Structure formats: C-alpha cells, structure tokens
Structure 1
Amino acid sequence: MRNPSSDLYGRDYYAWLQDQVRALRERRVEDVDWENVAEEIESLGKSERRGIRSHVATVVEQLLKLQYARGIFREYSARGWRVSIRSARRQIQELLDESPSLRPQLAEMLVRAYGDGRIEALRERTLKENILPKTSPWTVEQVMDDAFLPDRAATTRD
C-alpha cells in the first residue's frame, strides 16, 4: 500500500517535510515515507560534501591567482584574494567540524576541486592556461593551512 505522504512529497515539499518530522518525533513509523526520507538523508550527505569541495575550489582559484597573476591587476586584487582564501578555509573548517568523517575525503575532493578552481582562475584575463599546472601543486595540508600562501618567487617571469 502506498503511503499518502509519498504523494505530498511531489506536491508540496515543505509540507511533506513537516509531516515527516512530526511522524518521526511521534514515532508513528507507519506514517513515515521511508523511501523519500532515505533519499533526502542521502542527499544531505552529498550536499555537505559538495559544499566542502566548492570551498576548496575557491581556495585553489585564489591561490592560483596569487601565485600566477602578474602586473598591476595582481597588485590591486591580491588583498581580496587573500580575504577570500581565509573565508573559504573558515567555511571548510566549520563544515568539517560538523561532519569530521569527511576530513579523510579531502585529498579526493582536492583532485576535483583543483580542476574547478583552475577553470575559475582562468577567467582572469591575465592568466594563461599553459602556465597553470594541470594538477594541484599543493597538498591538502597547504590548502587548509591558514598560514600558507604560495611562493610567487618560484613562478615569477616578469
């Protein structure tokens, strides 16, 4: 027999959520839309992971700009990039504090986030694709370290 809440799920998501919260709190297991509740819980976990990866991509993007951007554009923008790095690192740390089991997955997330951050960094007209590394030149520890900023001297060709 189909649970009536399953129909509500497709018609009014918020009302469905409230209905499911009540059913769970009141331990009315027969009224729980188990299939959709399971999907929603799984989706929450994926969302947490995507959030962390997105913030890692932001850190990567800004680190690439700091290390590889040149000229007056860099001089005027570097402070903002550093602020963005600090903010994204703080967001990552907050998410990891809430879900510490995601910490061991950071290295895997960095691989994908590096590609995303590299694409975003290339939107800056002063950066050329051939000068940016194809894979991350930084470790997870460096990406997460509040004190770490890339050594621009190693890449200076001005």
Structure 2
Amino acid sequence: MGYRNSQIVEELAAEGKITTEHKGVQTFDFAQYSLLKRMAETTADSPLDKAAEEKHMLPRTFTSGWLSIAIGWGMTIPQTIDEIVDIGNEPRNPKREQLAYNRLGKIAKKLESAGLIKCLRNGNVQRKNNAVWLLMLGDDEENADVEAYVRERMRL
C-alpha cells in the first residue's frame, strides 16, 4: 500500500515541487515533504491493485487524521506527568495534541496551496470524523479521474 504514491512524492521532491520561500529564495521544505510522504505511504496507490479493490479502498485518499501522525511522530509525548489526562480510559495529552493539530494543519495548508493535496471533506470534532484528503500526485487528467472515483464512492 502506498509504494507507488511514495515514489511519486520522491519524484516531486526531485523536481523541486515541495518547496517554501525562505529569505526570498525557494528551498526544499522538509515539513511538507514529511507530511506528504506519510500520507502517501498510508494511502492506496492509483490505480488500485486487486487486493485494494477487494478491500474497497480508495486511491490516494487519506482519512487517518492528524492524531495518528502526531502520535507516530512523537508530537504528543508529555514533558511532565501533569500534562496527562484520562480520555476514554486512555492517557492523552490534549494540549500537545492541539499543538500538533495546529502545526500539521499549517503544513497541510501549504501542500494544499501548492496543489499537492485537496480537502474533499472537512473533519468534525463533534461527529468524531477526520477530514478526507485527496493526494494530487498525478497530472490534471489522472487527478480528475481519481477525484471523481473517490467522490462517487464516498457520495460527496
């Protein structure tokens, strides 16, 4: 899962498409690269292989949410025991989680501005659902086909 997507992210980086402006000069952006790479690795490739089709997976569609990335990157590790709160019988760190959401959200907005990801559905805390992000890793025609397929399957 995500191998071809991950390879495309590598190609985009090599082509200079994952950049930010620093002191008036475009430069490689490690934060954008890391987030896009993680999203690519955890989404099904396009076109779907037989196993992904059988599991009814959606190509290049990230739905795991920022919390999974924040935990995986150690962004929610408490500095003191006082930061830990019991939420649903699980030790959590809401302050650090919120900081991680904010940070990852800012990075995602840069990727969205660059046309590398697209938000198909906003997340909703009350409904406990994550945002749906489509990775725009192909050319315009391929991206349009993948988006139409995902929208149809998700009834968006």
**Shared topology, TM-score over 0.5?**
no
Give the number of the structure whose residues are more often helix, by fraction: 1
| Structure number with bigger Rg | 1
Give the number of the structure whose residues are more often strand, by fraction: 2
Q: TM-score range by the shorter chain?
A: under 0.3
Task: Provide TM-score, normalisation by structure 2.
Answer: 0.26
Task: Provide TM-score, normalisation by structure 1.
Answer: 0.26
Bigger relative contact order, structure 1 or 2, given CA contacts below 8 A and separation 6+?
1
